A and B are shown apart, each in its own frame.
Chain A
Amino acid sequence: MALFKMPSLGADMEAGTLVEWLVGEGETVRRGDIIAVVETQKGAIEIEVFKNGTVSQLLLQPGETVPVGTPMAEIDGGAAGEPAPAAPAPERAARLSAKPAEPERPVATAPPPPRAKAGERVPASPAARRLAAEKGVNLAALKGSGPGGAIVSADVLAAEQPAKLGAAPSRRGLDMDEMRKAIAAAMARSKREIPHYYLQHSIDLEAATTWLAEANAERTPPERLLMAALFVKATALALKQYPEFNGHFVDGRMERSESVHLGVAVAIRGGGLIAPAIHDADTLDVGSLMAALKDVTARMRAGRVRSSELTDPTATFSSLGDRGVEGLWGVIYPPQVALVGFGKVLSRPAVINDQVVPRPQVQVSLSGDHRANDGHRGALLLNAIDKLLQSPEAL
């Protein structure tokens, strides 16, 4: 028997609300199946199960809000040695988080709360502090259940009117206010904890532009490629070459990932963004990457996010597209250690064979976490992306 637990779907998530079960007791599930919908600050997330078996008991009712790590269901079977299912998604043997459905550090992912001296701040997680301020709960009056007695959001919620927790959340869709809070928490943590450094490089796109125009001339509109697909592929291949930029910084050390699950920043119309993982992006051809980009863009905007897409990204890709500006300097999404940003493709003067000629160019940037990697290797990473984009036919 295994317990299916409330997963941690982001650095700042402490609790989730079950919206609905998509399976019933006695049903057989296979790894990768979506079995529940959980409401978080990032909207209603489709939660995947990470083992084969039979749902023997559902432990939560829709509407219940529980902390990360709380058992949600019991799953029997799926004994060791059972053949892996024909997974609908590519096999993710090297998934960074070995047990994504059983997060071990639901609280430790938040910065350690400072020890309070007499008359100083009460130890509490940033999320709990924010929640307490919103709900008018006095932190000093609470007993913390987090590490070192720190107050976590669950403590604040417990001190509040219990009736409020039973309110049924929406089935689908995005709550933009909550998403803004989630972005604020993650980005504030990033800027607080991660010593960012930044590199910039200009890449000539004559070869890529020519190749793309020729490729698209033979394709119908639904099959056409965008330059972004080439950028994603080149970035993923370069991250594979320079693994110190691909993984998570956890408990004071870098955990490299064998797989490149590239988080692709998707702007939500009207504000906000999500960076879901395109799994094994380095192994997909550009046509498949284009299809994946279309798929995640459409689903993110409709508020249909899968849990693995939020937990798995090993680095972030951000492209401002053709209506953006020349360059961007991204904020790393913890616990990742790098973000690669692309500006808008522009025709710029370039010196080729001592002649100034107009060439399509793009500014690519790297935001690196100095705890995990350095500028020299970062420069090699950006140069690798450049080199890869000079041979687009090989991508």
Chain B
Amino acid sequence: MTEDEIKAVLFEEITAVAPDADPAAVPEEADIRDALDLDSMDMLNVVAALHDRLGVEIPEADAPAFFTIAGGVQYLASRLH
């Protein structure tokens, strides 16, 4: 998957958890928990959905990578390649 494809998947899963959120409008280095009002349950649901959809192991210690769009894309790219 290209980084753009990974980003599209990430956006889809964020939007599935928070339908009113627009992840594309958030700066890639911004903390999406603040920018999109995502709580710990939301973040867990996003990571769980990515795990199920992409088959990527995401240890809990690595979950903070997904606090930003850039961090999440980079993490998934490194695991998928």
- Interface set, chain B 26-61, CB cutoff 8 A to A: 33-34, 37, 39-41, 44-45, 47-48, 50-52, 57-60
With known contacts A217-B60, A224-B60, A269-B20, A293–B51 Cβ distance under 8 A = no
In the complex, chain A residues whose CB is within 8 Å of the CB of B39: 267, 321-323
The distance from the CB of A304 to the nearest CB of chain B, in whole angstroms, is 14
Residue B6 is within 8 A (CB to CB) of chain A in the complex: no
Residue A311 is within 8 A (CB to CB) of chain B in the complex: no
- Cα–Cα, bound, A323→B41 (Å): 11
Residue B9 is within 8 A (CB to CB) of chain A in the complex: no
The distance from the CB of B63 to the nearest CB of chain A, in whole angstroms, is 8
Q: Are B51 and A323 touching (Cβ within 8 A)?
A: no
Q: Are A222 and B41 touching (Cβ within 8 A)?
A: no
In the complex, chain B residues whose CB is within 8 Å of the CB of A267: 39
Size bracket, chain B contacts? 20 to 34
The distance from the CB of B68 to the nearest CB of chain A, in whole angstroms, is 15
User: What residue in chain A is nearest B63 (Cβ atoms)?
Assistant: A221
User: What residue in chain A is nearest B40 (Cβ atoms)?
Assistant: A322
Residue A325 is within 8 A (CB to CB) of chain B in the complex: no
- Cα–Cα, bound, A196→B69 (Å): 44
Other-chain residue from A217, A221, A294, A321 in contact with B58 (beta carbon distance below 8 A): A221
In the complex, chain A residues whose CB is within 8 Å of the CB of B60: 213, 216-217, 221, 224
Residue B65 is within 8 A (CB to CB) of chain A in the complex: no
Q: Are B58 and A270 touching (Cβ within 8 A)?
A: no
Other-chain residue from A217, A222, A270, A297 in contact with B51 (beta carbon distance below 8 A): A222
With known contacts A216-B60, A217-B59, A226–B20 Cβ distance under 8 A = no
- Cα–Cα, bound, A216→B47 (Å): 13
- Cα–Cα, bound, A377→B40 (Å): 32
In the complex, chain B residues whose CB is within 8 Å of the CB of A228: 40-41
Q: Are A321 and B40 touching (Cβ within 8 A)?
A: yes
With known contacts A222-B51, A224-B60, A323-B33, A294–B41 Cβ distance under 8 A = yes
- Cα–Cα, bound, A317→B48 (Å): 25
- Cα–Cα, bound, A190→B55 (Å): 49
Q: Are B33 and A220 touching (Cβ within 8 A)?
A: no
Q: Are A323 and B34 touching (Cβ within 8 A)?
A: yes
- Cα–Cα, bound, A368→B51 (Å): 42
Q: Are B18 and A269 touching (Cβ within 8 A)?
A: yes
Q: What 1/0 mask marks residues of chain A from 250 to 269 whose CB sits below 8 Å from any chain B CB? A: 00000000000000000101
